[in-house]
């Protein structure tokens, strides 16, 4: 059985951010499928809850930026969301639809990808439903749950024992001193990334991840800082540099 958690400074994983949002419309099946085709080790995606209690794969709590609709995701049923074109943030790829979480899981269930599932709508209900869906598929052992709200990551870890990704303290909503105790990993934006922060996290037993190194130069910076996973809008520079350096030893 594959061990999904062998990342290290010498075995750096590459995760596609919302699929590969610099290349295809974010959080669409097209973006996820094509990111898989690039050879990523992991996919990152986002969840919001609809009016009828369904899990929609969309980053913002509003549909305004990424679709041709207007309004809050929570005010739409899943069927209504399906009528929107989700390709508006990166046009040129035809009409794209907002996937339901189960559609995303249909795509990835039988792959060997590590999954990074972000609870964007910071509610326990969203977390509960996402974890239940993953558990039904029997794939919780290769999932890292993410949320910017410290109370939600603490809740998910304490209730379900799942691995959770948080963020540096100054980026966490509702940060409390105990948040770090429930983090498997911390995602560090390139604007916050330093060798000192990486070493601090290592000292606390927290895996240092980063987002989004999308050029050769920023990939080199992330490597020099000692990260173990890179979440990329464009995974191609990371894949190329890490492969050339022998830093992707997939197991």
From CA 161, how far away is CA 182, in angstroms rounded?
A: 9
Interaxial angle between packed helices 216-225 and 195-203, expressed in degrees from 0 to 180 and rounded to the nearest 10: 40
From CA 72, how far away is CA 60, in angstroms rounded?
A: 9
Contact between 35 and 238 (Cβ < 8 Å): no
Catalytic residue numbers read 17, 59
Q: Is 219 helix (H, G, I), strand (E, B) or coil?
A: helix
89 exposure class (CB count in 10 Å sphere: 0-12, 13-18, 19+): middle
Whether a cis peptide bond, with omega within 30° of 0, leads into 212 is: yes
Q: What is the DSSP string of 103-169?
A: HHHHHHTTS--EEEEEE-S--HHHHHHHHHHHHHHT-GGGEEEE-SBHHHHHHHHHHH--EEEE--G
């Amino acid at each position: 059985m594959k061990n999904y958690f062998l990342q290290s400074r010498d075995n750096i994983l590459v995760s596609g951010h919302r699929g590969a949002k610099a290349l295809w419309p974010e959080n669409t099946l097209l973006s996820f499928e094509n990111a898989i085709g690039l050879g990523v080790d992991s996919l990152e995606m986002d969840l919001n809850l609809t009016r009828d209690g369904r899990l929609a794969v969309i980053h913002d709590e509003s549909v305004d930026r990424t679709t041709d609709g207007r309004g809050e995701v929570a005010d739409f049923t899943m069927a209504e969301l399906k009528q929107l074109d989700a390709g508006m943030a990166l046009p040129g790829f035809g009409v794209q639809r907002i996937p339901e979480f189960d559609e995303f899981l249909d795509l990835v269930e039988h792959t060997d990808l590590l999954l990074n599932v972000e609870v964007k709508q910071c509610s326990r209900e969203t977390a509960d439903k996402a974890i239940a869906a993953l558990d039904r598929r029997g794939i919780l052992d290769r999932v890292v749950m993410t949320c910017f709200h410290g109370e939600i990551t603490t809740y998910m870890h304490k209730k379900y024992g799942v691995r959770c990704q948080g963020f540096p303290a100054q980026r966490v909503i509702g940060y409390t001193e105990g948040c770090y105790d429930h983090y498997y990993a911390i995602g560090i934006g390139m604007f916050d990334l330093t060798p000192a922060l990486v070493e601090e996290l290592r000292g606390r037993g927290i895996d240092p991840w980063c987002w989004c190194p999308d050029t050769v130069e920023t990939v080199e910076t992330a490597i020099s800082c000692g990260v173990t996973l890179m979440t990329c809008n464009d995974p191609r520079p990371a894949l190329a540099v890490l492969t050339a350096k022998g830093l992707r030893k997939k197991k």
